[in-house]
């Protein structure tokens, strides 16, 4: 059995794709998997590190502002379509899976035009442009949120959730290991601050402004800043003489980081939201306002509307975020409510459910 998985550009696309691949291999170790990504994007490094082969396409996105780079778009798209068609011919996939991102467009279109059944995995509560265009050819569309009939044909939709790494689901067993790793005092509350792998400037500056207040309140902070802010964060912590704030440029052991958190501050990307739902931690979400179609705000509101998370707008975070964190930590009942409600959105079997849909498509295709 041959399976193409295409897409990427961000961790929110790449890591669910790898989780799907891992589950395919777990169910059927003989399956052949080929990833197709965009040249120069992070999937070209992350996918081989996960043990899978990847081919790159020269495809790029259209920039919102008028630039000379946009003039190259149709030419790179044409080259990508030709390259994708050749990849599909050579690999002869039984199914093609798209997870969103630049490369999934030409790859899934090439597959569909050659009669290969395609499956789309949409991570967000607001469908991306590529997936909306591709949906007309898709046999199945796996989504993470209800109400996606606004974008896709209802008969194609399966609500599976977003697949996440298996270690995240075991976070509750890592509390002691996490406290030891991050040097935390179990008698004091702890906040985990994450802004994605690259960090989030607004969140970082908000935490920086509240360092003294966290210290005065006896609150510990595990702070993932991203590489671009780490030196500034370390200097601020050192200058303030604060020992209870632990800045890191990147945290690899996210299961341990979630395990020690009484409250989590995060952007509202699809992957982050899915992880929070699985670990069931009270969350304050600060959506990135420049995300396409403002989808992070929509992701956050899907939880906020069910009292499963709090939202702080990026525009006011520098003046209100720290207050919200301190107030939430002091409100035991609110924390419990948020935790209970966000857990109801968790889909621990997401990868397995998506793989089941993949096998169904292959079975129907072979019968035909």
List residues forming the annotated binding site: 10-12, 124, 165, 197, 251, 270-275, 296
Residue 200 burial (C-beta neighbours within 10 Å; 0-12, 13-18, 19+): buried
Cα gap 97→6, rounded to integer Å? 6
Q: Which two tokens stand for residue 226?
A: 């991203």
| Rg for the chain, CA atoms, rounded | 21
Question: Across the chain, how many H-helices and E-strands are there?
Answer: 15, 13
The token pair at 130 is 């590529």
H-helix or E-strand spanning residue 214: helix 211-216
The token duo for 8 is 């990427």
Query: Quick one: which H or E segment has residue 122?
Result: strand 118-122
Phi, psi of 366 (to 5 degrees): -70, -30
For the chain, how far is it from start to end, CA to CA, in angstroms? 16
The annotated binding site for UDP-N-acetyl-alpha-D-glucosamine is made up of 10-12, 124, 165, 197, 251, 270-275, 296
Under DSSP, the state recorded for 185 is -
Helices 201-209 + 230-240 axis angle, to 10 = 10
3-state secondary structure at position 307: coil
β-bridge mates for residue 246, sequence order: 222
Of 126, 128, 151, nearest in space to 300 by CA: 126
Tell me the β-bridge partners of 140.
Answer: 119
Q: Six-digit token pair at 164? A: 């996440």
Q: CB-side exposure of 186: number of CA atoms within 13 Å?
A: 7
User: Residue 29 has which token pair?
Assistant: 């170790």
CA trace torsion 142, 161, 84, 54 (10° rounding): -150
């Amino acid at each position: 059995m041959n399976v193409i998985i295409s897409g990427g550009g961000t961790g929110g696309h790449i890591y669910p794709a790898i989780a799907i691949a891992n589950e395919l291999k777990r169910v059927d170790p003989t399956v052949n998997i080929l990833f197709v990504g965009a040249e120069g994007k992070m999937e070209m490094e992350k996918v081989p590190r996960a043990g899978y082969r990847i081919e790159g396409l020269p495809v790029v996105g259209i920039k919102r502002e008028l630039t000379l780079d946009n003039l190259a778009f149709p030419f790179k798209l044409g080259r990508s379509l030709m390259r994708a068609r050749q990849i599909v011919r050579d690999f002869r996939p039984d199914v093609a899976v798209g997870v969103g991102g630049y490369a999934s467009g030409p790859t899934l279109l090439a597959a569909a035009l050659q009669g290969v059944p395609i499956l789309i995995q949409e991570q967000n509560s607001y469908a991306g442009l590529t997936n909306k265009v591709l949906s007309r050819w898709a046999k199945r569309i796996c989504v993470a949120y209800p109400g996606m009939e606004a974008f896709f044909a209802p008969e194609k939709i399966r609500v599976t959730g977003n697949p996440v790494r298996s270690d995240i689901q075991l976070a509750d067993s890592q509390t002691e290991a996490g406290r030891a790793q991050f040097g935390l005092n179990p008698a004091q509350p702890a906040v985990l601050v994450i802004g994605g792998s690259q960090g989030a400037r607004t969140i970082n500056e908000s935490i920086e402004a509240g360092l003294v207040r966290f210290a005065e309140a006896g609150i510990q902070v595990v702070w993932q800043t991203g590489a671009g802010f780490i030196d500034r964060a370390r200097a601020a912590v050192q200058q303030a003489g604060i020992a209870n704030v632990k800045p890191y440029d990147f945290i690899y052991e996210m299961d341990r980081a979630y395990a020690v958190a009484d409250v989590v501050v995060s952007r509202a990307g699809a992957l982050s939201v899915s992880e929070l739902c699985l670990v069931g931690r009270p969350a304050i979400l600060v959506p990135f306002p420049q995300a396409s179609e403002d989808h992070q705000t929509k992701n956050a509101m899907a939880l906020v509307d069910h009292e499963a998370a709090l939202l702080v707008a990026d525009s006011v975070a520098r003046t209100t975020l720290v207050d919200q964190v301190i107030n939430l930590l002091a409100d035991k009942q609110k924390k419990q409510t948020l935790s209970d409600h966000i857990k109801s959105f968790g889909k621990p079997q997401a990868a397995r459910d998506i793989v089941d849909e993949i096998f169904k498509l292959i079975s129907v295709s072979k019968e035909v």
